[in-house]
Structure 1
Amino acid sequence: MTLSINNISVDILGSSILKNINFQTNKGEIFCLIGTSGAGKSTLLRALNRLQSISKGEIHLNGQSIYKMTPQSLRKSAVMILQTPSLFEGTVEDNILFGVKLNGSYDKTDSKTVARSLLEKVGLETKLLDRNASTLSVGQQQRVSIARAIAMKPTILLCDEITSALDPQSTLHIQELLVTLKREEKLTIILVTHNMDLVQQIADRVGLLIDGKLVEVSPVNEFFNNPTTELGKNFLSTIA
């Protein structure tokens, strides 16, 4: 078990956004959070590394309350990747090494080697290292974002709709990359997405959120072939 989410709720401005959420993630699995728009998926993802405060409940990472960790330590272990690549003006190398430089966790003498290795891992040519990141395609920028995330050697990647702005070919690249990271790095990946084809291709388990409630958690094949709740059946009927 990597993350344990126990009875958490989130209230914002008097509205109940998340209601008594419970689930656990396993090391080296892809867990997809799915559901209707406005169901609370992104809010839940943000709560997992304290970008969103919870109103009650407990969240543990590797057995430790995330509220007993410093934000910096938590966000080094549980790294968020956003829908729109959040790169800054500078080279690809600068962007990849940004987090590890802040944490002082790299040897300056081998920074180019580290950045080159990470770029290769996400399937990009190393000749891009000295390019300004803003000149890359959106799909390439998203892979640079993932390289920057895994440079931190995290336990978990928190991915919020990271393929929604991409073309089909770039989406396929990201899909293959996430599966590779799960297999080779034993990363736990929590992915919020509306792309059900992607879910069926890469997820180990899915969690269905409806109106702030986690109504079903199932292995991916079981969910799509035989959902156990009426809400699950209704959800699938809307996307068929």
Structure 2
Amino acid sequence: MTADVLLQAVNLTRRVDGKTLLDDITLDLATGARLGLVGPTGSGKSLLLRSLALLEPVDSGDLLWQQAPVANDQATIYRSQVIYVHQRAAAFEGTVETVLRQPFQLKAHRDRHFDRDWIVDQLATVARDATFLDQPHEQLSGGEAQIVALLRAIQLSPRVLLLDEPTSALDRQSARHIESIVMRWYDDAPDSRAYIWVSHDPSQADRVCDSLITMHAGQIQTRRTAP
């Protein structure tokens, strides 16, 4: 089956105080892609992901979704299909279930509904049961909060995940749990989904990605197939 291009960045450039932070970045993300983004701290990886998620402005260049520019009035819908996941989960008040239900109160998701059974099934993948939903979110460990952040995103059935070092602050077991959740989301519809995963862990990048891009000083330096 021929892969369809979902997301295209064309000559994205960002400058701040005379410094070029993104330098003429061009990349395509097609269905089925599992793309790793690696490089030293400060090379522009997080800024690129946030720009792709329309969370940061660019000075020039184009961002295309399914080969069409994203209009201003389409940004909310776009962000429901292309979801950015931060390396540290946001803090919320209330139970885990309350936190997971919150996105469905937004206008963009009012045609969807919270599926508790689906969530419980996902939790079983990472050795949690339904009682986890009753825990206060503010009392979760870093790994547990990141599990919730990922479930909060993937329950909306996005086409693309932009994963900004989602396991960087976690122990090995918690990191593997996060990987399991992402892999299950991807494997449920590999012909229509894709992700970009920023990682500082070479073994993780090789494990969860099929191809790798190395960034340095705001530029794409190399592209290669993962082992």
Map 1:69-88 to 2 at 5 A.
69-88=73-92
Match of 2:184 in 1: 180
SS of the aligned residue for 1:84 comes to coil
Q: 1:69: how far off?
A: 4.8
Pair 1:118 & 2:119 matched? yes
SS of the aligned residue for 1:52 comes to coil
C-alpha distance in structure 2 between counterparts of 1:129 and 1:64, whole Å: 39
C-alpha distance in structure 1 between counterparts of 2:136 and 2:61, whole Å: 43
User: Structure 1 residues 119, 15: CA separation in 2 closer, same or farther (over 3 Å shift)?
Assistant: farther
Among all aligned residue pairs of Structure 1 and Structure 2, give the percentage whose two residues are the same amino acid: 26
C-alpha distance in structure 2 between counterparts of 1:185 and 1:147, whole Å: 16
SS of the aligned residue for 1:28 comes to coil
Match of 1:135 in 2: 139
- Matching residue's letter, 1:117: W
Aligned residues: 216
SS of the aligned residue for 1:128 comes to helix
Pair 1:158 & 2:159 matched? no
Match of 2:200 in 1: 194
Deviations 1:110-141 (A, max 9, x none): x4xx0331242253312211221122221111
Q: TM-score normalized by structure 1?
A: 0.84
Match of 1:35 in 2: 39
Higher percent of residues as helix: 1
User: Structure 1 residues 26, 131: CA separation in 2 closer, same or farther (over 3 Å shift)?
Assistant: same
Q: 1:68: how far off?
A: 4.6
Match for residue 215 of structure 1 among 199, 204, 221? 221
Match of 1:12 in 2: 16
Map 1:41-80 to 2 at 5 A.
41-80=45-84
Q: 1:215: how far off?
A: 1.3
- Is the CA contact (8 Å cut-off) linking 1:28 and 1:183 kept in structure 2? no
Match of 1:144 in 2: 148
- Is the CA contact (8 Å cut-off) linking 1:31 and 1:189 kept in structure 2? yes
Deviations 1:154-201 (A, max 9, x none): 111111111001001111111222222221133311111111110011
Q: Where do 5+ consecutive residues of structure 1 fail to align?
A: 222-240
SS of the aligned residue for 2:30 comes to coil
User: Structure 1 residues 148, 119: CA separation in 2 closer, same or farther (over 3 Å shift)?
Assistant: farther
Q: Where do 5+ consecutive residues of structure 2 fail to align?
A: none
- Is the CA contact (8 Å cut-off) linking 2:12 and 2:26 kept in structure 1? yes
Runs (4+) off by over 3 Å: none
SS of the aligned residue for 1:152 comes to coil
Q: TM-score normalized by structure 2?
A: 0.89
- Is the CA contact (8 Å cut-off) linking 1:48 and 1:59 kept in structure 2? yes
**Greater CA deviation, 84-93 or 160-169?**
84-93
C-alpha distance in structure 2 between counterparts of 1:18 and 1:156, whole Å: 21
User: Structure 1 residues 91, 116: CA separation in 2 closer, same or farther (over 3 Å shift)?
Assistant: farther
What root-mean-square deviation, in Å, do the aligned CA atoms of Structure 1 and Structure 2 show?
Answer: 1.6
- Is the CA contact (8 Å cut-off) linking 1:49 and 1:66 kept in structure 2? no
SS of the aligned residue for 2:178 comes to helix
